[in-house]
Amino acid sequence: MSKIIKDLKRLLCQAVERNPYKNLLFSGGLDTSILASLQPKLTGITISFGDKAEDIHYSSSLSRLFKIEHFHRKVDIDEAQEAIPEVIKILKSFDPAIPNDLAVYFGLLKAEELKIREIATGDASDELFGGYSFMREIDDLESYIRRISQNLKFNSNDLGDYFGIKIIQPFVDKDVLDFALKIPRELKIRQGRGKWILRKAFEGVLPYEVAWQDKRPLEYGSGFNRIREIISNKISDEEFAQRPPFMKFISKEHFYYYKIYRQVVGEIPKVKEGQASCPGCGAGMKKESFHCQICGYVINNTERTEQ
């Protein structure tokens, strides 16, 4: 195990050398904290919905430790609501994960204000090292990660293109990705925590409370999860009852995003030759894909077999 830890740390250091950055979308979570520790003289941008967000605590503390020039951008309710149609238009999606994307959108908006033209993110760490809670329930996690690694796609890239900002993703480095695929499940998920091996590799570099902090989805760490109730209240019970019966909406909030999508994007793209049909919205999607880029529907193994 000690060799795996040593090799993982070395490969990440080399990935940063090949993909250098001076700016970072900085949540203060494990992944961006690792990136902050590996590159000196950084500018970090942290976003929060209102004044209260857990990310502020971690990013502020680490900014002092690593001497990062730190910018904290607070987003109010009106700004967040006004940005939703723009984000949906950029991504061409009404995925319920929009609150996550809002945090990235405002981070890049702040970067644009600072005339930053490239910025790093912690994208792919959760996918490659078992960071999501649902991964703990997957028996053959190695096969699952191997499959999704073939189609890694991040909305930060599309949002970066919109702002003309290059997104740097050290965890997507080929050597890191290839090595991550060889790490066994029991070293990724251990003692009830995901990304165990990654935490272990940097526990001597990062403060203990940072290296072993619980996983915070971006929307929770930034506080943007609080917008969900606000959005849901915009759809009445009567309106939700009239939603299209052929589509699968998980909530009033999801239906709200769909309505915006129809206004700013238009029709759902039809299935093309060689594609599968999304069980959630009917959009065309890659047959090997687990996730519909249009509505956010997650394909399970039963549905994949039936296609």
| pLDDT tens digit at each of 307 positions of the chain | 889 999 999 999 999 999 999 999 999 999 999 999 999 899 999 999 988 899 999 999 999 999 999 999 999 999 999 999 999 999 999 999 999 999 999 999 999 999 999 999 999 999 999 999 999 988 899 999 999 898 888 999 999 999 999 999 999 999 999 999 999 999 999 988 999 999 999 999 999 999 999 888 999 999 999 999 999 999 999 999 999 999 999 999 999 999 999 999 999 999 999 999 999 999 999 887 888 999 999 876 444 434 4
pTM: 0.94
For 196-216, letters b (16+ CB in 10 Å) and e give: bbbbbbbeeebeeebbebebb
Q: What 3-state DSSP class applies to 180?
A: helix
For residues 236 and 243, give the distance between their C-alpha atoms in angstroms, rounded to a whole number: 11
Cβ neighbourhood burial of 295 (10 Å; 0-12, 13-18, 19+): buried
User: Which domains are delineated in the chain?
Assistant: 2-226 (3.40.50.620), 270-307 (no CATH)
For residues 244 and 112, give the distance between their C-alpha atoms in angstroms, rounded to a whole number: 39
Helix ranges, 164-222 (H): 174-182, 185-188, 196-202, 208-211, 218-222
For residues 124 and 117, give the distance between their C-alpha atoms in angstroms, rounded to a whole number: 21
Pairing between strand 284-286 and 275-277? antiparallel
Q: Which tokens sit at 263?
A: 């206004």
For residues 89 and 210, give the distance between their C-alpha atoms in angstroms, rounded to a whole number: 35
